[in-house]
A and B are shown apart, each in its own frame.
Chain A
Amino acid sequence: MVTEEEIEQVAKLMKIDVHDHKEYVEKVHDMINYFDILDSAGVEDEEFTMKDLPLSSLRKDKHIPFEDKLIEKLNNYKGSYVRAPKMV
């Protein structure tokens, strides 16, 4: 059984402020409890495959000219650097 504390911990790691406990934590708790239905699906022995994507199908890694200077669309930049809040 998932606890509300576990949900709050994940929200914190995801940098999400869950100030409204009922709206976020309780409802997410209900949603996760609903997912318990998966336990009765009987798929433990089922294999699943991911679609392979060969390198040849990928777009070439080359510069595509772009008419606008994207950095100038930002509000917080200095020269060619994006300004971010202090980490330490």
Chain B
Amino acid sequence: MNLKISGLEYIEEVKNGNISAEDFVSATIDRIKNIDEKLHAFLQVNSKAVEQARDIDKKIKSGKKVGSCFGMPISIKDNICIKHSKTTCASKMLEKFIAPYDATVITKLKEQDAVFVGKANLDEFAMGLTTEFSAYGPSRNPWNTDYVPGGSSGGSAVSVSAFECVASLGSDTGGSVRNPASFCSAVGYKPTYGLISRYGLVSYANSIEQIGPVTRTVKDAAFLLNILSGLDPNDNTTIDGGGQDYLSEIDSGIEGKKIGIIQEMMSEGIDPAVLAATNDAVSKLEGLGAVCENVSIDMVKYSVASYYTITATEAGSNLARYDNLRYGYDFPVEGFEFNSYISKARSKFGPEVIRRMILGGFVPSSGHAGKYFLKSLKVKSKLTNEVNEAFKKYDFLIAPTVPILPFKIGEKIDDPIALFLVDINTVMSNLTGIPSISVPYALSNGLPIGIQLLAKHNHDKSLLKVARALETTVRLPEVPI
């Protein structure tokens, strides 16, 4: 069974009767069993996946209406709720939490007959960018298992890149879909804020985070966006995408489009190999008829500080519910005074979550809010204005997804500021709400490099077109695992 096909190829193969959903899902589960001990992409594997695929085959054979995924095996980041299954957020705090309902994205995928092969590893509560902060141990980069796969949706990207599923859903608060996609050579897509419902996603920083697909191709990302996007009464931040078909006209090209190369994302600290790959990508886009020019977005320099201040503030509020009275684990109340009980219960949080909670209490606190939190909101506002100005002149923006190559596990874990700066190219689209996508582009010393493209608010369809155009210029080797 050839597992190395895209989602749309899988659908064609099943539709044409060349393969069955059961055989494909069964082979996928076998591959997970064979290689995931090395990679640790999964926190749980769905023991009923093959049975569910068999049921879909029966529907196909009996001529019943079948959903558009035809049993496509998908992994789900473990901060997205699937009813009656564990949702741990890679935290000991939620080790035994069973979700009582489906996230909207899960409901939509179930309606389209997707099969969930398992829950993917992440940094605890999605706080991190290497998956090293998972309470259950790090995921490993399938291109070189000594290296981080990126994060926080590291398990999602690893599982797609290593053919342990066809596609995955992650969540992106500051690059958490695009960063691991770049490090693992997959497509990672953060839609316009509000295009996909967040209902059932365990909250980290609600005002900027989005669920997004990790896929093998840009077309697969467009296919999933067709299923996942839309207004949701359970998430009143959702927006109407206008019922667009994101897959149609995706190959229509980019002749005459203007692309701005963000200078602040191409300068200090950038790895020469990443810089060379980005310049090469720009040349390829020019070869396809685009006009590329340098553009400056001054507030990029301050975006990481603004991002961490805002996210920590929202995280501090969101994580307050983990007091073992509302959410938590089995821990008897006898013998504790109220405050000491909650402090004791919270000792199950990992170090990064605790640091961000403290930060989140500090930066908006009385006497400090003006210096940190309010100033961060002002940076966010000015950054949005600068980006809107840039889009008056350009159709798209381009930059490397991450300015450096994947690094070794453990290399940066004790240096929070070094880790902050890995986010510098990705946080802008979260702070401004615009869509962005990471396209696998090159390898350097066997490690992947992704190129990020960004578009105007709610211009996801045209973003997918330019990403598809760039993708057609690339031929990369298969993952060596």
Q: Which residues of A pack against B, CB within 8 Å?
A: 2, 6-7, 10-11, 13-18, 20, 23-24, 27-28, 30-32, 34-35, 37-41, 43-44, 46-49, 53, 57-59, 66, 68, 70, 73, 75-76, 82-87
B420 contacts across to A, CB distance below 8 A: 31, 34
A24 to B346 alpha-carbon distance, docked (Å): 14
Beta-carbon contact of A35 and B100 below 8 Å: no
Contact of A31 among B347, B359, B371, B378 (CB under 8 A): B359
Beta-carbon contact of A10 and B361 below 8 Å: yes
B343 contacts across to A, CB distance below 8 A: 15-17
B336 contacts across to A, CB distance below 8 A: 85-86
Contact of A76 among B333, B361, B377, B417 (CB under 8 A): B333
Beta-carbon contact of A76 and B236 below 8 Å: no
Q: What are some 16 contacts across the A-B interface (CB < 8 A)?
A: A16-B358, A17-B343, A18-B354, A31-B416, A34-B305, A34-B420, A44-B378, A46-B379, A49-B381, A59-B233, A59-B234, A70-B100, A73-B98, A73-B100, A85-B337, A85-B341
A35 to B416 alpha-carbon distance, docked (Å): 12
A21 to B184 alpha-carbon distance, docked (Å): 35
Beta-carbon contact of A75 and B330 below 8 Å: yes
CB-CB nearest in chain B for A38? B375
Interface hits, B325-381 → A, CB 8 Å: 325, 330, 332-333, 336-344, 346-347, 351, 354-355, 357-359, 361-363, 365, 368, 371-372, 374-381
Q: Is B306 an interface residue (CB 8 A)?
A: yes
A10 contacts across to B, CB distance below 8 A: 358, 361-362, 365
B376 contacts across to A, CB distance below 8 A: 38
A46 to B384 alpha-carbon distance, docked (Å): 12
The SS class assigned to the B binding surface is: helix
Beta-carbon contact of A16 and B236 below 8 Å: no
Interface hits, B268-326 → A, CB 8 Å: 299, 301-302, 305-306, 308-309, 316, 320, 323, 325
Interface size class of B (residues with CB under 8 A): 35 or more
A68 to B359 alpha-carbon distance, docked (Å): 37
CB-CB nearest in chain B for A22? B414
Contact of B357 among A16, A39, A53, A66 (CB under 8 A): A16
A16 to B342 alpha-carbon distance, docked (Å): 8
Chain A nearest Cβ from B417, distance in angstroms: 5
Given A24-B355, A34-B417, verify A43-B378 contact (CB < 8 Å).
yes
Beta-carbon contact of A35 and B325 below 8 Å: no
B351 contacts across to A, CB distance below 8 A: 20, 23-24
Beta-carbon contact of A86 and B377 below 8 Å: no
Given A31-B308, A59-B233, A82-B325, verify A14-B375 contact (CB < 8 Å).
no
A31 contacts across to B, CB distance below 8 A: 308, 355, 359, 416-417, 420
A13 contacts across to B, CB distance below 8 A: 361
A76 to B316 alpha-carbon distance, docked (Å): 25
Contact of A35 among B308, B333, B378 (CB under 8 A): B308
Chain A nearest Cβ from B194, distance in angstroms: 10
Chain B nearest Cβ from A30, distance in angstroms: 6
For the complex of A and B, the 5 pairs showing the least CB-CB separation, nearest first, are: A43-B378, A48-B381, A85-B341, A46-B378, A15-B342
